[in-house]
Structure formats: structure tokens, C-alpha cells
Amino acid sequence: MTSAKQTISPVRVVKKNGIRVEVYEDAEAVSAAAAAMIAGRITASSKFNLGLATGSTPIKTYDELVRIHEAGELTFSHVTSFNLDEYVNLPPTHDQSYRYFMMKHLLDRVDIPLYNTFVLNGQAVDVDAECSAFEGLIKARGGVDLWLLGIGGNGHIGFNEPGSAVDSRTRVVTLDDCTRADNARFFATLDDVPTHAVSAGVQTITDSHAVLLLATGAGKANAVAAAVAGDCSVDCPASLLQGHDDTTFMVDVQAAKML
């Protein structure tokens, strides 16, 4: 791994439909570049609101942020985090809940105050109130400065499945069959994958001052091409980022191969 201060250069930069796509050699380089960008922005600010994502793609980026923190070059003491989504009806102690994921991969490994980490409660008695409170909290804290995203094979962001409205807000969503099938690898059986989630909406994400989407591997190539070069359409939720004025995709060569 590289030092925090070393610059990782993309092999190619594509600008299309308002999205800047930085293409890196491999997933390691994507993670190093993403962590360097996030660390740089956190360090440049006296108060930073960071949007976070789960999934396998950002894990190496979180590892790299932890490494930079452990090297004494990054503090999260002034950071507040907001997570994109959570499964409905999984307790936070379940090893597939997104609260569990975030604690394991980042939050428990850095100096972020735990009371400033917000993951939606998928077990809330009043889920709608939970969703409104999440929106209110983001607003009260001054908005998200940078939201880190992955992308689903069908172009979803967070759990905003195809058809999600451009002005959607945090709400309960029904997961697509293909998303449940994609995520079944983390559960004992497909039946164990929750059918519903709570997710920040498309508008919740595009309200963020900046967006950084990561994609690696050939399995994401179609979704990346549709998001960047396709129509701006609810059919591919990530394409709705075309209307955002500070969106960067960091992808590896495999994920960029249809661009």
C-alpha cells in the first residue's frame, strides 16, 4: 500500500454527462485514490459530514483510511457519519446488518465519536418516523459534505432500485429479486436475505455537496456505462447523478471496459 501523501494517478479520465470518471489500474489503486481523497477532505475541514456505503467494494478503502489514521495522519474526531441504508428487521448485532459492517470495517477502528455515527435503525417501531428523523438530522448537521457510494449490478445506489424517483427521500424500499440474489452470498440461503430495507433517497444523496462512487470488476461494467453514458433515467438510479455538479466515479479498468 502507498503512503497517504503519495499521489495515485488514474490511467484514464473520462468526462461525460457531468460525471468525472477516473479509471485506475486495479481495485487497490481505486481504494488508495478514494481514501486519499476522503482523507484530504476530512483533514481540510474543521467539521466534516461523511456519507458512507456498505458492500464489498469500499472495504479496501476503509482499510486504507484506517491505515492512514493509524499512521497518525488522519483524525475522525470532527467527523459525523451517515450511512446510506440498512436492512429492515436485522438487529444491529447481526453480522449482515450494515451497522455491524460499519463498526467492523471502519467505525470501531478510528477515533470517530460513536455518538456521531448514524445508521438507520431497520428495527424501528415507527420506520417512517425513523426515516424522517434521519433526513432531519442530516439537515440539522448542515448537510453531507461527501457521500461515498457503491453501485449495484442493476445501477442501484444505496438501496434505490430502478424506478426510484429523482426526488425520493429516506424511506422503506422493497429489494429487487436481483439485488437479493446478489447479496445472497452473504447469507446462509436466499430466503434469509431481507426483502425490505430503509434507504436514503436519490435526492438525499444528490443533496450531498460531493459524491464519490466506486466500482470495481467486470460485473459492474454495464451499470457504470449506463450511469455515465446512458440516459439520465430512473431505470438506472446511478445515472441520476448526471444532474449533480460534483460527482466523481473511481473505477478500475474492468469496470470501465464498456465506457
Taking the complex as a whole, the smallest distance from the CB of residue 152 to ligand GLP amounts, in Å, to: 5
Active-site annotation holder among 22, 85, 182, 207:
85
- Is 135 a residue of the active site? no
Q: By C-beta, is 4 or 102 nearer to ligand GLP?
A: 102
Active-site annotation holder among 156, 182, 183, 252:
156
- Is 156 a residue of the active site? yes
Burial class (CB in 10 A: 0-12, 13-18, 19+), 52: buried
- Is 244 a residue of the active site? no
Q: By C-beta, is 97 or 179 nearer to ligand GLP?
A: 179
Report which secondary-structure segment, H or E, holds 105. Answer: helix 98-105
Q: By C-beta, is 74 or 200 nearer to ligand GLP?
A: 200
In terms of C-beta distances under 8 Å and separation of at least 24 residues, what long-range contacts does 218-223 make, across chains too? 218/254, 218/255, 218/257, 219/153, 220/151, 220/153, 220/251, 220/254, 220/255, 221/254, 221/255, 221/256, 221/257, 221/258, 222/153, 222/258, 223/151, 223/152, 223/153, 223/154, 223/155
Positions that interact with ligand GLP (CB under 6 A)? 53-57, 84-85, 150-152, 158-159, 179, 183
Active-site annotation holder among 154, 160, 182, 252:
154
- Is 83 a residue of the active site? no
Measured distance CA(1)–CA(13) in Å, rounded? 22
Q: By C-beta, is 39 or 102 nearer to ligand GLP?
A: 102
Query: In this structure, what is the dihedral angle of CA atoms 139, 205, 88, 221, given to the nearest 10 degrees?
Result: -170
Active site residues: 85, 154, 156, 161
